[in-house]
Homo-oligomer: A and B are copies of this chain.
Amino acid sequence: MRTVRLVDVAERAGVSIKTVSNVVHDHPYVRAELRARVQAAIDELGYRPNLSARRLVTGRTGTILVAVTSIDVPYFGDLCQRLDRAVRNVGMQIVIEQTYATRESESAVLDQRERGLVDGVIFHSVTLSAEELAAHRLGLPVVLLGEAPAPAGVDHVKMDNVAAAAEATASLLAAGRRRVAFLGHERRGLSHTTGQRLTGYKQAIKAAGMSLDRRLYLRVDDYSPESGRRAVKDAIERGIGFDAIMCRDDLLALGALHALADLGRAVPEEVAVIGWDDLSIAAHLTPPLSSIAPDKDALAGQATRLLMERLNGYHGPGRHELVPYRLIERASSAATDSTVRGRDAAGSDPR
């Protein structure tokens, strides 16, 4: 295929190459009439500016790097899709990089490896500490997402995981549940995300005047449904009693529902279950799964806005913004006759 060159456009429009270049690079001092003539020639000939060359002139690529753990994790697939829309809305495009949550690849995201390819980075970091993030000489605007602590100088958007976990756990206690397990404590060390959710869970238990029982922290190897299933099955087989499970996320909750069905424990009658992320499958599980729903559109929109402000010259201190969430209550955590009796006995008001 023959490439249409700048000179072809100039000939067709009857202007100089410099004028075509000015139009392509959107310089302000081109007369409207000339601009229209050049644009007409560009459209007729199907000219596409060589973007690599254009970058050298404008210094902009029009591309934002989005770095997440893995897009086959439904939460990240969903988030990337919303970031894709938000970034398109401001006339740019995204490139997605998967870090698989390794320190090497997370460092590489910040390590300028992409310099010249992207204008900025939206980064859901999992493994790096605030000190490590601060130690990187960030050559590009970066907005951080997620629960890992951010250095003061860097923009950060997240939801309040502690408050959400406390609210969901409190809703189980208010419905009369007395032994609430937490599913998703990591065997290999507590992640930032799990740490905050566990903190909220503990706050709610203590606020209800109950004592913590470490046997109710159900540990997993990863966040797969299979891990959740095994953890719940093991706990029940070891005789650990509980009448509710607060899950770190919906995939673990899916595994919990599987284990409870296998062992013949009725949900929600015997065990209530609440997940996290409100994946599109949650409403269709058997029974439909209650879940904490982060406002992912707000997350994508706020991250994009903060990054664009940086790209457009904002050099002030890091902004730390929260996005809203909702606890969506479905059948998996509904109060039942027996839990209501338990609740009344415990002195709560019936609704």
A residues whose Cβ falls under 8 Å from a Cβ of B: 1, 3, 48, 50-56, 61, 63, 70-72, 74, 76-78, 80-81, 84, 93-98, 112-113, 115-117, 137-139, 224-226, 229, 251, 254-255, 257-258, 261, 280-281, 283-286, 288
Contacts and interface: CB of A to CB of B under 8 A. Distances in A.
A314 B321 CA distance: 51
Contacts of A71: 71, 77, 80-81, 84, 96
A306 B213 CA distance: 56
A80 B98 CA distance: 10
A229 B117 contact: no
A68 to B, nearest CB: 11
Given A77-B77, A80-B71, A226-B284, A50 B138 contact: no
Contacts of A1: 137-139
A98 B81 contact: yes
A281 B225 contact: yes
B61 A52 contact: yes
Given A96-B96, A139-B1, A284-B225, A115 B50 contact: yes
A98 B83 CA distance: 11
A280 B48 contact: no
Contact of A93 (B78, B97, B261): B97
Contacts of A255: 284
B48 A112 contact: yes
